[in-house]
Amino acid sequence: MADIQLGLMTRGQFPQGDDMQLRFEEMFEQIRLADKLGFSCITKGMHYSSWPLQDIQMVPYLSRVMAETKKMRLNMGIVLLALHKPLDYAELVATMDVLSGGRIIFGAALGYREVELKAFGVQKKEIVRRFTENIEAIKRLWTEDKVTMKGSFFELDEASCSIKPLQKPRPPIWIGANADPAIERAAQIGDCWYVNPHSRNETLYRQLEVYKRALDAADRPFPKEFPMRKEVFVAETREKAIELAKPAIGLKYKVYHSWGQDTVMPEGDNNLDLDWEELLDDRFVLGSPAEVCEQLLDLHETLGVNHIIASVQGAGMPQSQVLEALYMLGEEVLPNLKNA
């Protein structure tokens, strides 16, 4: 019997025209509340060129908000690692780990948007190699004093990580993955697969088998911590939760669809340009606190996930509703996830 951890993802994405300083103050308020209520982590995603939404960059954001938290872990969920250089992120993440007292989770995934790849001078055919080599280099930089490694796009020549992470041997590495080959890669190079929030449950049941087979093939045990992200809409009643979800889901998924997120998802479950009613179909956690609790426990039983990271603020959702949802999750749902 172990606890199911419940984390909070603050997307930090807001429509053009919103006052980002005001939005940022609101996110601070959410984070301080989540820390007090016993949420496990604060999660921030990474996107560049986020038009038509505004977004705050992950690294400055998590580095700044760590000062507002005492207990929560800080989840970089996820770094688009194929765009970056390993020495840069090894040192960034290690510094964050030291300054937060060892509370960093390093999440990484490939990235897929053309505008991002081009802006970083990366070709689509290179991304898997860049990603895999970067993970290897970062692990080595964190654990070895001097690293010599000739990558395809970088060369470490007796390079050192200027500061070593506080967590030993190193911070956990969560690999975000949508497609089957990416899940197999997560089994090979990550500490765990960080289950994506966009797929239907039936798809995930199948992919869990893909993951387990890949772990077996790599002779690795099932991870102790198995995390998943989910959109969570909680209100007094299911009807109110649906009302809450409508505008938020509609806008957000239209943007994802226009970015091409769904084209990297598995066949038969790769069209996010649907009516919101269809999107509800077991893709989200939604309902009264009791129903939400039941759905989270169900995810734990059927998929084995024991760390669920909830995005509660759909694009355009006002602060008052977000805080209300956090209170409900913290006071009515979290206690029932202990000793699940």
Which residues lie near another protein (CB under 8 A)?
20-21, 24, 47-51, 53-57, 59-61, 63-64, 66-68, 83-88, 91-92, 94-96, 98-99, 101, 114-116, 118-121, 145-146, 153-164, 166
For another protein, which is the closer residue by CB, 51 or 219?
A: 51
Instruction: Return the ∠ at Cα 241 (arms to 240 and 245), rounded to 5°.
Output: 120
Sign (positive or negative) of CA dihedral 13, 118, 262, 205: negative
Q: How far is the CB of 149 from another protein (least distance, A)?
A: 10
Listed in order, strand segments (DSSP E) in 160-226 are 173-177, 192-195
To another protein, the closest distance from the beta carbon of 195 in angstroms equals 26
The minimum distance between CB 111 and another protein, in angstroms, equals: 12
Q: Measured between alpha carbons, how far is 261 from 71 in angstroms, rounded to an integer?
A: 33
Q: Residue 310 CB, nearest distance to another protein (Å)?
A: 23
> Residue 52: helix, strand or coil by DSSP?
coil
> Rounded to the nearest whole angstrom, what is the least distance from the CB of residue 67 to another protein in the complex?
3
**How far is the C-alpha of 157 from the C-alpha of 312, rounded, in Å?**
45
Q: Which is nearer to another protein, 71 or 224 (CB)?
A: 71
The residue (of 47 and 170) whose beta carbon lies closer to another protein is: 47
Compute the least distance from the CB of residue 29 to another protein, in Å.
14
Looking at the Cβ atoms of 155 and 277, the one nearer to another protein is 155
88 or 278: CB nearest another protein: 88
> Which DSSP symbol is given to 71?
S
Which lies closer to another protein via its Cβ, residue 50 or residue 178? 50
Nearer to another protein, 162 or 263 (CB): 162
3-state secondary structure of 116: helix
Amino acid identity of residue 273, one-letter, is: D
Residues 6+ positions from 116 with CB-CB distance below 8 Å: 47, 48, 49, 80, 83
Q: List, in order, residues 6 or more apart from 302 with CB less than 8 Å away.
A: 201, 205
The β-bridge relationship of strands 13-15 and 5-9 is unpaired
Say which residues have a Cβ less than 8 Å from residue 35's Cβ, sequence separation at least 6.
42, 68, 69, 70, 71, 72
Q: What minimum distance in Å lies between the beta carbon of 262 and another protein? A: 21
